[in-house]
């Protein structure tokens, strides 16, 4: 049975990804900041192979604790899903610089820390995959204004994933950023294009079929290659 670790799994896309991988018979290691408040995950744990761990992705000690708890585990899939927008003030006239830095901590630095910290767990798998939820908003190819903090943190994680894909090739670890679509969640809002279930369904098919052929490329939830 494959082990799939998903960060930020208590709501939004992370929760639906957890449900979808569980439905497919995978064992899911769901992480969230407040497990006691993660009612949906607690309910799922009653009927599925689901473990819930506390994880604040920006906290090095929290990541070390997770690594210690998973010491003997094999990780087939690691999904860096946890992410933030980086505050409401992201314009030329009004910028929240501390929220911008926080966006980099959550969206850019944390996925790097998790992948490198859990590298040995991944190396044990037959087809290990490290996937990070990025966004088309970070694509250099797409010309649109505003959201400086969010866009730059996602553009940066795209580059990090590309570099990691080359460095992890010898370990046989697939590394890709993925765009989940514009999704109706707390982050995406109610006017977004697709439901979290639709996004999770597409991402599940993509990630379940990922091989080294996919590594170092930017993918969409519809399994199409996205321009960088």
Contact set with ligand NAP (CB under 6 A): 7-8, 10-14, 32-34, 55-58, 81-84, 106, 133, 135, 179-180, 182-183, 185-188, 192
Smaller CB separation from ligand NAP, 12 or 128: 12
Compute the distance between CA of residue 138 and CA of residue 63 in angstroms, rounded to an integer.
26
- The two beta strands, 50-54 and 27-32, are parallel
What is the closest distance, in whole angstroms, from the C-beta atom of residue 16 to ligand NAP in the complex? 8
Q: What is the dihedral of CA 154, 61, 13, 144, to 10 degrees?
A: -10
Compute the distance between CA of residue 84 and CA of residue 107 in angstroms, rounded to an integer.
7
Smaller CB separation from ligand NAP, 175 or 183: 183
Smaller CB separation from ligand NAP, 56 or 76: 56
Compute the distance between CA of residue 4 and CA of residue 185 in angstroms, rounded to an integer.
22
Compute the distance between CA of residue 160 and CA of residue 163 in angstroms, rounded to an integer.
5
What is the closest distance, in whole angstroms, from the C-beta atom of residue 138 to ligand NAP in the complex? 9
What is the closest distance, in whole angstroms, from the C-beta atom of residue 187 to ligand NAP in the complex? 3
| Contact status, residue 181 vs residue 127, Cβ threshold 8 Å | no
- Name the nearest CA neighbour of 147 among 107, 176, 109: 107
What is the closest distance, in whole angstroms, from the C-beta atom of residue 158 to ligand NAP in the complex? 12
Which residues, in sequence order, are bridge partners of residue 31? 53
- Name the nearest CA neighbour of 81 among 132, 29, 30, 139: 132
What is the closest distance, in whole angstroms, from the C-beta atom of residue 82 to ligand NAP in the complex? 4
Smaller CB separation from ligand NAP, 186 or 213: 186
- Name the nearest CA neighbour of 181 among 221, 154, 223: 221
Smaller CB separation from ligand NAP, 58 or 117: 58
Smaller CB separation from ligand NAP, 152 or 185: 185
What is the closest distance, in whole angstroms, from the C-beta atom of residue 204 to ligand NAP in the complex? 14
């Amino acid at each position: 049975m494959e082990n799939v670790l998903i960060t930020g799994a208590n709501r939004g896309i992370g929760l639906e990804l957890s449900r979808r991988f569980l439905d497919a018979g995978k064992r899911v290691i769901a992480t969230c900041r407040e497990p006691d408040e993660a009612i949906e995950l607690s309910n799922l744990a009653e009927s599925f192979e689901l473990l819930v761990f506390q994880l604040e992705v920006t906290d090095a000690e929290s990541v070390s604790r997770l690594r210690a708890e998973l010491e003997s585990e094999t990780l087939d899939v690691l999904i860096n899903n946890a992410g933030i927008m980086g505050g409401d003030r992201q314009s030329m006239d009004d910028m929240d610089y501390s929220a911008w830095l926080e966006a980099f901590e959550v969206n850019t630095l944390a996925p790097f820390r998790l992948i490198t910290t859990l590298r040995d767990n991944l190396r044990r798998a037959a087809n290990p995959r490290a996937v990070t939820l990025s966004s088309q908003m970070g694509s250099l190819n797409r010309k649109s204004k505003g959201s400086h903090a969010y866009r730059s943190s996602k553009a940066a994680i795209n580059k990090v994933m590309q570099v990691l894909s080359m460095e992890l090739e010898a370990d046989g670890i697939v590394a890709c950023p993925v765009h989940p679509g514009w999704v109706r969640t707390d982050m995406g809002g109610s006017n977004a294009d697709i439901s979290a279930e639709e996004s999770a369904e597409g991402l599940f098919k993509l990630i379940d079929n990922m091989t080294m052929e996919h590594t170092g490329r930017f993918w969409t939830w519809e399994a199409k290659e996205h321009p960088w």
